[in-house]
Amino acid sequence: MSEIPCEQTPSDVRSADILIVGGGLSGALLAAQLLRLPGQRRVLVIEPRAELGRGEAYSAVELGHTLNGNAARMSVDPDNADDLSQWLSAFIAAGGWPESAEQAVPVAELFPPRGLFGVYVQQRLAQAQEQGARQGSSVEHVRGEVVDLQVDAQAAWLTLSDGSRLRGEFAVLATGMFPAARTRQTHSSGVNAAALDPWDVATMARLDPQATVMIIGSGLTMVDAVVSLEQAGHRGPIEVFSRHGLLPHVRRQPPEWVDFLALDPEIRSPRQLLRELRRQCRAAQAQGIDWQAPLDTVRAHIARLWSQATDLQRRQFVRHVRPWWESHHHRSPPLSAQLVARLHEEGRLRIHAASFKGLLPAHEGRLCLALRRRGESEVTVVSGDALINSSGIEYDWRRVARPLPQQLLARGLIQPGPLALGIAARADGAVIDAQGRVARRLFAMGPPLRGMWWESTAVTDVASQAKALARRLVQGG
Split at pLDDT 50, 70, 90, the class of 183 is low
208-252 pLDDT, tens digit each? 999 999 999 999 999 999 999 999 999 999 999 999 999 999 999
**What pLDDT was estimated at residue 1?**
32
Whether the per-residue pLDDT at 184 is higher than 70: the answer is: no
Give residue 186's pLDDT: 53
Residue 90 has pLDDT above 60, yes or no: yes
Would you state the pLDDT for residue 182? Answer: 67
Report pLDDT for 2. Answer: 32
Among 477, 448, 445, smallest CA distance to 30 is for 445
Residue 91 or residue 194, greater confidence: 91
**pLDDT tens digits for 15-64?**
999 999 999 999 999 999 999 999 999 999 999 999 999 998 898 888 99
Tell me the average pLDDT across 120-145.
Answer: 97
Q: Average pLDDT of the chain? A: 92
Topology adopted by domain 186-249+332-389: FAD/NAD(P)-binding domain (3.50.50)
For the chain, what percent of residues have pLDDT higher than 70?
95
Report which of 475, 463, 448 is spatially closest to residue 128, judged by C-alpha positions.
463
> Which of 417, 58, 372 shows the shortest CA–CA distance to 245?
372
Q: Rounded to a whole number, what is the largest CA-CA distance in the chain?
A: 71
Residues 391-410: pLDDT tens digits? 888 899 999 989 999 999 99
Q: What is the pLDDT of residue 11?
A: 58
Q: Pick from 111, 344, 320, 317: which is nearest to 215 by CA? A: 344
CA nearest to 328, candidates 354, 301, 290: 290
**Mean pLDDT on 163-177:** 97
Q: Is the pLDDT of residue 189 over 70?
A: no
pLDDT attached to residue 56 = 85
Average pLDDT, integer, range 59-73: 92
Question: 13-65+113-178+395-474, what's its fold?
Answer: FAD/NAD(P)-binding domain (3.50.50)
Could you say which DSSP state residue 287 is in?
T
> pLDDT band at residue 187, thresholds of 50, 70 and 90?
low
Return phi, psi of residue 188, to 5°: -90, 145
Name the least confident of 52-61, 122-131, 411-420, 441-450: 52-61
Tell me the per-residue pLDDT of 456-471, one tens digit each, with 9 for 90 and over.
889 999 999 999 999 9
- Residue 3 has a pLDDT of 35
pLDDT grade for 179, boundaries at 50, 70 and 90: confident
What average pLDDT does this structure show over 444-463? Answer: 93
160 pLDDT more than 70: yes
Q: Which helix (H) or strand (E) holds 370?
A: strand 366-373
Instruction: Specify burial of residue 348 (Cβ count, 10 A radius: 0-12, 13-18, 19+).
Output: middle
| Helix/strand/coil for 30 | helix
462: three-class secondary structure by DSSP: helix
What is the average pLDDT across 68-80? 96
Candidate from 287-296, 298-307, 440-449 with smallest mean pLDDT: 298-307
**265, pLDDT greater than 90:** no
Answer whether 13-65+113-178+395-474 and 186-249+332-389 agree in fold.
Answer: yes
CA angle 372, 373, 377 (to 5 degrees): 60
What are the extents of the domains in the chain? Answer: 13-65+113-178+395-474, 186-249+332-389, 260-322
Task: Kindly state the average pLDDT of the residues 6-17.
Answer: 71
Q: What is the distance between the alpha carbons of residues 86 and 78, in angstroms, rounded to a whole number? A: 14
